[in-house]
Amino acid sequence: MIPEPLANGFCFGEGPRWFEGLLWFSDMLGEAVHTSTLGGALTTLPLPGHSPSGLGFRPDGSLLIASAEDRQVLRYDGESVVAVADLTGLVPANLGDMVIDDAGRAYIGSQAPQALGGGVIVRLDPDDSAAKATIVASDLDFPNGMVITPDRKTLIVAESIGRRLTAFTIDDDGALGDRRVFAEGLDGPPDGIALDAEGGVWTSMTLAHQFERIVEGGAVTDRIDMGERVAIACAPAAPNAASCFCCRAPTPILSAWWAPGDRSSTPCRSPRPAPGRPETPERRHVTDSYYELIDPPGGLADALGEKFRATDLARGTWSAAIQHGGPVSALLVRALERCERRDDTRLSRVVIDLLGGVPADGDLWVSARVQRGGKQIELVTAEMLATGPDGAPRPVARASGWRLQLQDTQAIAHAAAELPRPRAEARNRNLKAKEWDRNYVHSLQWLWLTEPLKPGAGESWIKPEVDLVQGETMTQLERLFAVADCANGIGSKLDITKWTFLNTDLAVHVFRVPDGEWVGIRAETSYGPDGIGSTIGTLYDEQGAVGAIQQSVLVRRRPPKA
């Protein structure tokens, strides 16, 4: 089934609603609400300074708009827009979706994860008094899309981080009670949801790149594949209609929020699959590399060292303009291992210092030398250069490694750290990134044993699915360092919508060379009171611990959106 595009050119479409023959939807990052006819004719309601998200219509036909970042509720009466409620002092986080019942009561989600105290649902009564706004549900794991059943007795909310749909009974006075699970263990974090005439909940599986029809209990009866686009939100075209509207985007909201220049969010119209005929999306298998070697050693080698160019798979997740620390670290380790190679030694400790953002575009040069020679102990260093603003090469990353002489100590081999649970018990989160615009995470199989942001150490199994350098097979240490930098993210306890946490280095001690394709990471990050953190973790193969990692972390609060 191929969805039919209806309109495009938006930053990030959200909150679609069908009302009086028009599709209404928000453009969160474009600061506007739009309408579209079935023929694609558009109108725009500009909302400068606001980030519209959830929409809903009162019985009198007025439109309520949840403005996410300033936590206000706006009302549009067809002529003017006014703020009717400021929920800043009541809610713990930005506003999300909204649904309105027949009495005109608006239910609005505030999107905090349980790890940070939990999100809430606020009820705003028709008199629009913020003083009378009431929290009617709490301890939700990032509440998102909401619907009310046709009998007006049940509200269903998507909990994105919790990966479940939760149902509440709506009391006569508008209170929510009898909390229960409608469906859990979903294929991806659910975003917007819509209810069809048969009681199925159409759910936007954001990073799984599909919309799923889910019935109570969790069975998936139908799917609509979005290909390389992220599934954001959906709405039925009309009661009992045979089609629905789907909002899709090139990237998840967090990436789009940081780099809203790609104005390619698209509302589309898709016929609903026949009940009982799921469409399973096909995913492409990636075979590629992080780098291409432009000038190898020897005759054509650049005087600055071996010259490389990064592929899109080296691009970072904080910004597509800079490289992820994993490929950078692995390329430096490659240089350390190859420098005046000795078969009777190996790297024992490697420190990578990231001197700034490593550009994702342009030439890179990598060189290495023995800093301190010795029979049993050697210090080897490597440096990566990139073209600076003045056009001249400048250092962007450095590595130093102790290379120690080998000896047979099999009889006393021991690893103190306990092995994480096996991969079979992990949750597959590959779809969180497999179809993003091509970047580092796209190159991995990433299995989580723990829930992100939960208390305690985070644990994952990760396998790079690409080569480090095109045409070369990665060594075991190159493979280890290709993913070791992920420890900071695995151990993080911070909401990335409010904080950045970039590591400036990684120090890895390797007491045993790993074996196999999978790398296990157990890590936890601690934060001081002055903007500095530290990640400490253990690295594994599937037989046991192989080493330890530590990272310095620069923690910064995100500035409010201008």
Chain centroid to CA 404: how far? 39
Note whether 97 and 142 are within 8 A (CB). no
Q: Spell out the CATH class of 289-407+418-557.
A: mainly beta
Q: What pLDDT is stored for residue 86 in this prediction?
A: 93
The residue among 494, 6, 524, 89 whose CA lies nearest residue 267 is 6
| Beta carbons within 8 Å of 290's beta carbon, 6+ residues apart | 310, 311, 313, 314, 327, 330, 331, 440, 443, 466, 467, 468, 469, 482
Strand-pairing partners, residue 155, are 148, 168
Summarised one tens digit per residue, pLDDT across range 70-123 is 999 999 998 899 999 999 999 999 999 999 999 999 999 999 888 788 999 999
Q: What pLDDT is stored for residue 299 in this prediction?
A: 41
Note whether 521 and 484 are within 8 A (CB). yes
Backbone angles phi, psi at 312, to 5 degrees: -60, -25
Where in the chain are all domains bearing CATH 2.120.10.30?
13-253
- Cα–Cα distances in angstroms (integers) from residue 6 to residues 40, 244, 249, 267, in the given order: 5, 11, 13, 6
Four-point Cα dihedral 236, 241, 243, 246, nearest 10: -10
Residue with tokens 């299995």: 447
Note whether 360 and 321 are within 8 A (CB). yes
The residue among 353, 366, 352, 362 whose CA lies nearest residue 389 is 362
CA distance 83 to 4: 35
- Cα–Cα distances in angstroms (integers) from residue 159 to residues 141, 395, 397, in the given order: 5, 45, 40
Backbone angles phi, psi at 342, to 5 degrees: -130, 130
CA distance 417 to 406: 23
Note whether 99 and 157 are within 8 A (CB). no
Query: Taking the CA atoms of the chain, what radius of gyration do you get in angstroms?
Result: 26
Q: How far apart are the first and last CA of the chain?
A: 40
Strand-pairing partners, residue 556, are 500
Q: What pLDDT is stored for residue 2 in this prediction?
A: 60
The residue among 43, 427, 420 whose CA lies nearest residue 207 is 427
- DSSP H helices, 304-423, are 325-338
Pairing of strands 306-310, 22-27: unpaired
CA angle 202, 251, 440 (to 5 degrees): 125
Q: What pLDDT is stored for residue 41 in this prediction?
A: 82
pTM of the model: 0.52
The residue among 153, 118, 124, 154 whose CA lies nearest residue 136 is 124
| Beta carbons within 8 Å of 284's beta carbon, 6+ residues apart | none
| Beta carbons within 8 Å of 472's beta carbon, 6+ residues apart | 289
Q: What pLDDT is stored for residue 451 in this prediction?
A: 84
Is residue 310 classed as helix, strand or coil in its secondary structure? strand
The residue among 191, 312, 201 whose CA lies nearest residue 249 is 191
Is residue 232 classed as helix, strand or coil in its secondary structure? strand
CA distance 195 to 97: 15
CA distance 254 to 497: 7
CA angle 227, 319, 192 (to 5 degrees): 45
CA angle 140, 146, 148 (to 5 degrees): 120
| CATH architecture designation of domain 13-253 | 6 Propeller (2.120)
The residue among 84, 133, 87 whose CA lies nearest residue 111 is 87
The residue among 366, 401, 406 whose CA lies nearest residue 385 is 366
Exposure of 385 by Cβ count < 10 A (0-12 exposed, 13-18 middle, 19+ buried)? Answer: buried
Q: Copy the structure tokens of residue 302.
A: 């650049």
CA angle 539, 545, 546 (to 5 degrees): 70
Q: What 8-state DSSP symbol labels residue 151?
A: T
Q: Copy the structure tokens of residue 53.
A: 């998200």
One digit per residue, pLDDT tens: the chain, 562 residues?
566 777 777 778 899 998 888 889 998 888 899 998 877 788 899 999 899 999 999 999 999 999 998 999 999 998 899 999 999 999 999 999 999 999 999 999 999 888 788 999 999 998 765 557 999 999 999 999 999 999 999 999 999 999 999 999 999 999 999 999 999 999 888 999 999 888 899 999 887 888 899 999 999 999 888 877 778 888 876 544 556 788 877 655 433 333 333 334 556 555 544 333 333 333 223 348 999 998 765 544 456 889 999 999 999 887 888 999 999 999 999 999 999 999 999 999 999 999 988 999 889 999 999 999 999 999 999 999 998 877 888 999 999 999 999 999 999 999 989 999 998 888 776 444 444 567 898 898 899 899 877 889 999 999 999 999 998 999 999 999 999 999 999 999 898 878 888 899 999 999 999 999 999 999 999 999 999 999 999 999 999 999 999 999 999 988 776 5
Q: What 8-state DSSP symbol labels residue 10?
A: B
Where in the chain are all domains bearing CATH 2.40.160.210?
289-407+418-557
Note whether 236 and 211 are within 8 A (CB). no
